[in-house]
């Protein structure tokens, strides 16, 4: 059984696995970028609130 695996005439067709791998990787990168954008937006809002609080204190 194992011997026939190594004696195949043509290499195995792994194109679908490659496409799936790239899809997963780029999907994860997209999710990470969205996460970074949301975090930046939240930090900007926090900064505005802190500046308002500081302005009221003076």
Residues 29-43 have pLDDT tens digits of 999 999 999 999 999
43, part of any domain: yes
51, part of any domain: yes
The pTM is what? 0.69
Contacts 24+ apart (CB under 8 A), 52-56: none
55, part of any domain: yes
6, part of any domain: no
* Structural domain count, the chain: 1
pLDDT 10s digits, 2-57: 666 667 677 778 899 999 999 999 999 999 999 999 999 999 999 999 999 998 87
39, part of any domain: yes
Domain, as residue range, for 52: 32-58
5, part of any domain: no
10, part of any domain: no
């Amino acid at each position: 059984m194992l011997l026939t695996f190594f004696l195949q005439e043509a290499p195995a067709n792994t194109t679908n696995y490659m496409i799936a791998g790239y899809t997963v990787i780029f999907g994860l990168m997209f999710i990470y970028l969205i996460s970074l954008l949301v975090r930046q937006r939240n930090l900007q809002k926090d900064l505005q609130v802190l500046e308002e609080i500081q302005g009221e204190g003076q």
